[in-house]
Structure 1
């Protein structure tokens, strides 16, 4: 018999949260008292706080208030949901004075950043025009 889940009020939004395992993070959601949506966006905020790049080469991109995550060829394809496709995506980091154009063929659309997090997760890139 599966364990009964416990519901609680998310401390960041009006949504209810639960300790039910959703993609392996139920325990963390219960510990922080946040719903799955707020847990997801806190993870994205973590990317911003840690420099927008994983040691494995993935880069967090925030363009026009939308959050993306690039993937390297070695990592394979991002999750099916939100995968933008195997086309060329060109971008320029706003902190790069040289304006270097970076290219990725694997981009994951994570979603529109909630208004309440926009000041903590400002845009860090722009899409570059096609070559």
Structure 2
């Protein structure tokens, strides 16, 4: 595949067909930049019931996107900054208190994706 740079169809960014972490072909097919490709993947997690294909839970709190997992599931292969926090949270759809032992902050959701990625949880503070 030849090197190609194109305008992202979702934002003012640029995309390319260059393979970076296995996504160049997909970015070229969808005509999106790396950032929009990442957030479209997060939209896909929502379509999977707010989890990744391996069942790791997705949390969206105050416009930020997180992923949490168990020791059995293991950490996602593409993980950036993580913390071990035992942070309590509630999904907005129920009142069950859960704890996020492992938490990956994936980033602040860009305005262009906020409608597709609304908050689905809230963190509980210690009293």
TM above 0.5, yes or no, is yes
Which one of the candidate residues 99, 102, 105 is aligned to 1:106? 102
For these two proteins, the number of residue pairs brought into alignment is 126
In structure 2, what is the Cα distance between the partners aligned to 1:57 and 1:48? 12
* Deviation beyond 4 Å, 4+ runs, structure 1: none
Aligned partner of 1:115 in structure 2 is 111
Residue in structure 2 matched with residue 81 of structure 1 by the alignment: 80
Q: CA deviation at 1:4?
A: 4.6
Q: Which has the higher strand share?
A: 2
Q: Following superposition of structure 1 onto structure 2, how do residues 42-61 of structure 1 map, counting pairs within 5 Å?
A: 42-54=40-52, 56-61=54-59
Q: Alpha-carbon deviation of 1:12?
A: 0.7
SS at 1:45 equivalent: helix
Report the alpha carbon displacement of residue 53 of structure 1 after superposing the two structures with TM.
Answer: 2.1
Deviation at 1:51, TM superposition (A): 1.3
DSSP 3-state at the match of 1:123: coil
Q: CA RMSD in A?
A: 1.7
> Alignment partner of 1:47: what SS?
helix
- Structure 2: 5+ residue stretches without partners: none
- Equivalent-residue separation in structure 2 for 1:10 and 1:124 (angstroms): 28
Give the distance between the partners of 1:16 and 1:54, measured in 2 at CA. Answer: 27
> So what's the TM-score if we normalise by structure 1?
0.87
Tell me how far apart the structure 1 counterparts of residues 57 and 92 of structure 2 sit (CA, whole Å): 13
**1:50 offset after TM fit, Å?**
2.2
Q: How many angstroms apart in 2 are the aligned matches of 1:68 and 1:27?
A: 26
Looking at structure 1, the residues matched to 74 and 126 of structure 2 have their Cα atoms a distance apart, in angstroms, of 24
Unaligned regions of 5+ residues in structure 1, if any? none
User: 1:124 aligned to 2:124?
Assistant: no
- 2:67 aligns to what? 69
Structure 1 distance, partners of 2:64, 2:43, is 13
